Every structure is written in C-alpha cells, then in structure tokens.
C-alpha cells in the first residue's frame, strides 16, 4: 500500500511515468479503507489465523486479499485521465472490463448500487465503480486523488474462502449467504481457475487499451523506495498492534 502511494507522489511531482503495478500477496491480508474503523474487522481472528491487517490510502471498506491478482494504476490528467472520480472510474473500469473479456468473462459496470450500509466487507456493497457479471459482483475499485493524479486499485479474485471472509468481517448468517450468492470469482465465472500469468496479461492489455499507452517493464526508483519506506512507517501506526506487517510479491 505504501508503494502504491509512493508512485502516486512521484507521478504528481513529475518524477515517475504513469504506472500499472500488478502484485500478489505472500499471505492472506485485509486492507482497511483510508477512513475505516479498525474495529470493524475481527483483529483477534486475523492474528490467530495468520491474516495480516494493513491500511490503504484509498477509501472504501475492507477487502480480504488472498487468491487473486491485485492491480494499481497511477496516472494523471496529463496522461488522459479525466478529472473527477466518476469520469475517471468509467474510463479505468472500462479497461478492467476489457481485461475480464480477454479472460472470457462478460463484465460490465454495475448499473444499480446496492448493499448493506453496516457491513465492513467491501464485497457486500456495490457501487458504480464495481464490475459485475449480470447481477453478481466480480470486483470493486477504490481511488484517491493527489493533485491532478489518481491512484486506483482493486483485485481480480480467482477464488474465495467464504468461511474465512465471513469470520474476518464478523458477517451474520444472512450476510454470509449473500456473499456466496451475490458475488463471483474468476473460477466460479469460468468453471476453472485461470493462471495468474493469464490474469496479469489480461489486466495489462485491458488497461493499456483504456489509457492508450504502451506498457513496458520497469522498477521502482530510489526516490519511490524512499517515499514508500516513510509511508510504510506511517501506515503501521494506523493498525491494531496485534497485526503483523503484510507482505506482497
């Protein structure tokens, strides 16, 4: 999460190009929205079951990351991103829908938001920034703007452990049933789980098309690493002490 924000800071300062970052998680990890109360998840359950708990800079509700490919895209108005949350979501989620299409999943922006206001779990809510197949939610996205630069990230979930997710977010029996019935993973949509390599390629192609940019491999600069280290220390102060430091790969 600190690296995502560091790239955004560098892009806003003109020290980094528009960037697509794809990563996976070394172990199951919950990311809390920027303003989400840490008590909205069961930190004791997370600690007992080896689930990390971290905070991200974007808003929204909690997400349990596990068997998935996570993306972050950082770009600015100068790169063709329309100013404003709704317009930028439409553009970037259009690229994500293309990525799902390349994987064989007919995804579209969710037409009618719905969901329980009380639940801490992101996947029990739908917004106009979500992608769905029919009426079932595939994925959500979260954003934060810094000047004229946006950071958006989300997940392409390959499979989901309903019992674990329900325990993390203290879901009721009704909410657990809704999580099972109202959401889809890539595995459940396709019948077989796609490889992470296929998912990464599809996301890169879809977002490259949406942004009108060629994507080339790169690495973090010394400046980005320095910013990330500072932000990481700040983020650690915002989570319960029972949590460990999350790792991505």
pLDDT of residue 55: 87
Any idea where the domains of the chain sit in the sequence?
2-236
pLDDT of residue 243: 42
Q: Give the DSSP H or E segment for 234.
A: helix 222-236
Query: Checking phi first, is residue 14 left (phi over 0); if not, alpha (psi -120 to 50) or beta?
Result: left
Name 142's Cβ contacts closer than 8 Å, sequence gap at least 6. 33, 56, 58, 59, 60, 129, 152, 153, 154
CA-CA distances (angstroms) from residue 117 to 18, 60, 73, 126, 170? 34, 12, 27, 11, 14
pTM: 0.86
Q: Give the catalytic positions in this structure.
A: 122
Q: Is the pLDDT of residue 160 over 70?
A: yes
CATH 2.60.40.10 fits 2-236, yes or no: no
Q: Is the pLDDT of residue 91 over 50?
A: yes
Which of 34-43, 80-89, 111-120 holds the top average pLDDT? Answer: 80-89
Torsion of CA 35, 199, 210, 74, to 10 degrees: 40
Q: Give 205's Cβ-side CA count (13 Å radius).
A: 12
In the three-class reduction of DSSP (H, G, I as helix; E, B as strand; rest coil), residue 10 is classed as helix
pLDDT of residue 88: 93
Neighbour-count burial for 135-150, b at 16+ CB within 10 Å, e otherwise: eebbbbbbbbbbeebb
Q: How confident is the model over 130-147, as pLDDT tens digits?
A: 898 888 889 888 999 999
For residue 112, the Cα-to-chain-centroid distance in whole angstroms is: 20
For residues 224 and 7, is the Cβ–Cβ distance under 8 A?
yes
pLDDT of residue 241: 47
Whole-number percent of the chain with pLDDT over 70: 88
Mean pLDDT of 51-72: 91
β-pair type (29-32, 52-55): parallel
Q: Is the pLDDT of residue 32 over 60?
A: yes
Q: How confident is the model over 199-226, as pLDDT tens digits?
A: 999 999 999 998 888 889 999 999 999 9
């Amino acid at each position: 999460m600190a690296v995502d924000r560091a790239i955004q800071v560098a892009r806003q300062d003109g020290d980094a190009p528009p960037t697509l970052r794809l990563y996976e998680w070394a172990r199951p990890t919950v990311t809390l929205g920027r303003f989400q109360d840490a008590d909205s998840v069961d930190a004791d359950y997370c600690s007992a079951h080896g689930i990390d708990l971290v905070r991200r800079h974007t808003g929204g509700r909690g997400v349990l990351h596990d068997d998935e490919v996570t993306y972050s895209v950082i770009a600015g108005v100068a790169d063709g991103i329309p100013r404003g949350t709704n317009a930028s979501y439409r553009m970037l989620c259009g690229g994500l829908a293309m990525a799902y299409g390349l994987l064989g999943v007919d995804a579209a922006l969710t037409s009618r938001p719905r969901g329980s206001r009380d639940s801490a779990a992101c996947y029990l809510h739908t917004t106009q920034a979500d992608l769905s197949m029919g009426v079932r939610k595939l994925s959500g996205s979260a954003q934060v703007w810094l000047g004229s630069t946006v950071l958006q990230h989300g997940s392409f979930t390959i499979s989901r452990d309903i019992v674990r997710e329900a325990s993390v977010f203290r879901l009721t029996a009704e909410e657990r049933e809704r999580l099972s019935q109202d959401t889809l993973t890539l595995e459940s949509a396709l019948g077989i789980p796609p490889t992470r390599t296929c998912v990464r390629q599809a996301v890169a192609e879809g977002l490259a098309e949406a942004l009108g940019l060629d994507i080339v491999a790169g690495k973090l600069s010394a400046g980005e690493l320095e910013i990330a280290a500072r932000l990481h220390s700040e983020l650690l102060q915002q989570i319960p002490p029972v949590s460990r430091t999350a790792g991505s790969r």
